Amino acid sequence: MIPFLFILCFLITILLTPVIKSFALKIGAIDHPAERKVHKKQTPLLGGLAIYISFMIGVIILMPDRSYTIPIICGAAIVTLTGLIDDIFTLSVKWKLFGQSIAAVVVIIGGVDIEFIALPFDRTLEFGLFGIPLTFLWIIAITNAINLIDGLDGLAAGVSSIVLTTISIIAAMEGNIVIFALAVLLLASTSSFLFYNFHPAKIFMGDTGSLFLGFMIAVISILGFKSITFFTLIVPIIILGVPISDSVFAIIRRLVNKKPLAAPDNAHLHHCILNLGFSHRATVVLIYGLSAFFAICAVLLAKSTLLGGIIITVIFILTLELVVEMVGLVHRRYRPMLNFIQRLISLKNSQYSIF
């Protein structure tokens, strides 16, 4: 059943996207070039509507778990409607956040929440009521993280596809059929959109798509790691390493520069890589590669021992810090790790020169 629905969702997105494109052009839902934007021509929005519709058709046919499915369908409809209104009329940040919050509350009421963490040495950390605000913050954070990386053709759709592939693999390894089904159907709907969205994009997913994808990835990751262990707590964070790090360093950057947290800028990960001289396509592919590396770390971490988990986590943190410094994600002068490596190399060369 799942392979059939994968193909169905894949084909529905491909067939529906040109229809959505015509509809967007007709109602004037168009993204115009601007100083802060990379694209140089007017491009229709609302492409995420095709992703949403194809995924929902697959989920309604399959109905993998009715207790979770109905709240997820309702929450996804609310957040997609929020993005749709924003693409057509442009909403303020507070109204976008309001729509996301309502969607998050709906799924939490439906039973989607983080309950406890199984710590090493047979210890358990129960969240109790604190699990509700933690779940709420996770959904809002990931929804906006995916929204923030939607700055280049095919970037959000491609990174989301890598994330969903990783969740599908881990769900299959754990024998979690519900999560596997949800992730695979969303993967089919998202990856097929790349036929129209990869550079040069014929249509953008808009906030309709990026908010929906972020919301669904957040919810699926919570369900997939509902009773999480100490290191599998880090798994979804590593899987979403690219969008999360971009969002976190955007906040740090704005605090350092004393700017409002909601203020837009040209210093996101994709902007920084473009500024290094890479082409549009090369930048997207490089971020795909970074996301794939984090995905591999996450899969290994999901099945690792305590020692292996520590090693993988340290590798992830060091790699992330190195990338941040190399591309100047915080500031061009922020280079503590690179400066340390440079001093070590200089010290080693000076020792050789003595002999």
Amino acid at 203: I
Binding site annotation covers 147? yes
Helix, strand and coil percent figures for the chain, each rounded to 5:
70, 5, 25
Binding site annotation covers 339? no
For the chain, the residue count is 355
Asked if 127 contacts 222 with a C-beta cutoff of 8 angstroms, the reply is no
As a whole number of angstroms, the distance between CA 242 and CA 264 comes to 18
Q: Which of 45, 51, 127, 122 shows the shortest CA–CA distance to 87?
A: 45
**Under the phi-then-psi rule, with left for phi > 0, alpha for psi from -120 to 50, and beta for the rest, what region is 228?**
beta
Asked if 272 contacts 329 with a C-beta cutoff of 8 angstroms, the reply is yes
As a whole number of angstroms, the distance between CA 77 and CA 81 comes to 6
Q: Which of 163, 151, 139 shows the shortest CA–CA distance to 268?
A: 151
- Residue set of the binding site: 147, 207
- Residue set of the binding site for Mg(2+): 147, 207
